[in-house]
Structure 1
């Protein structure tokens, strides 16, 4: 491969790193807080509901939506850095 592909490779490497970190966060919240640490979190109440139950039912969805917005922001920065932005 030529050196022209170097920026593209760096772009995709950064993109995959972002994806891996964000998916790891989502997995930790959905599986960890909703299943593994449910008993410990149930000692805390949020809006009348046990926190472990809340994470299992709604919290992981909220975190996923927030992670989507974080990903969009990170990708916009990455696009600008490598000159792939549409402006």
Structure 2
């Protein structure tokens, strides 16, 4: 295996690890907070609305947008680490 191929394989594995972690966080927030733990979170009010309802309607979208920015930052660092930055 050539050095370029090893570098590309390591890059892809690290990229997949980032994706799995970030998608797991999004799943936990959207499914966990919005559906599974909704009743427990509804005891807390946010802006007059139950927190479980807020996560189901808006919170998971906000978290997803934040995770997009986190992913961009992580990928910029990863590109520099493996020499794929422009």
1:78 matched to which residue of 2? 78
Aligned-CA RMSD value = 0.7
**Moved beyond 3 Å, runs of 4+:** none
Range moving further from structure 2, 3-12 or 70-79: 3-12
2:55 matched to which residue of 1? 55
TM-score normalized by the length of structure 1 = 0.96
Unaligned runs of 5+ in 2: none
Aligned residues: 86
Q: Offset of 1:4 from its aligned partner?
A: 2.8
TM-score normalized by the length of structure 2 = 0.97
Unaligned runs of 5+ in 1: none
